[in-house]
Amino acid sequence: ISSQVYTPMAATMIGGMTPPLGIALATWLFSNRFTAEERGTAGAAGVLGLSFVTEGAIPYAARDPLRTIPALILGSAVAGAISMAAGVELKVPHGGVFVLPIPNAVTHLGIYLLALLAGVAVTAVALRILKKPVTAAA
């Protein structure tokens, strides 16, 4: 940002919002892939994702890293790639979706939001594909 190169910041923030938001969506759409506890904390993960607090994804990744982490990487890569390809610039270092209404904070806002939705959807679908259904004991 201090070099006045703003496209990497946009890709960084969207890549950090995607994992917890994708997990939250996956727990709602594909609930049989998650424990009751994971489904119960999905709302908090979603709020953290909206705020660009990627750490909301850590408990999920820690429980099943070999299946969860690749899904998170894939969704973030898609979102970041779309953001970079569109030349989206973000002039603030943090804040998630809450900074998007600030005038001149982000360029190409519509494409940026589409990139976020695409990354979240890819994450959720990848989790559906990669994670096994939870047994009744879990």
Q: What single-letter amino acid sits at 17?
A: M
- Residue 108, Cβ neighbours under 10 Å: how many? 15
Tell me how far CA of residue 58 lies from CA of 31, 45, 96, in angstroms: 18, 9, 18
Indicate the pTM of the whole model.
0.94
| 133: its two tokens | 């259904």
Residues 6+ apart with CB under 8 A from 51: 95, 96, 97, 98
pLDDT digits (tens, 9 = 90+) for 8-57: 999 999 999 999 999 999 999 999 999 999 999 999 999 999 999 999 99
pLDDT digits (tens, 9 = 90+) for 79-104: 999 999 999 999 998 899 999 999 99
- Dmax over CA atoms of the chain, in Å, equals 53
Q: Which residue has the higher pLDDT, 3 or 27?
A: 27
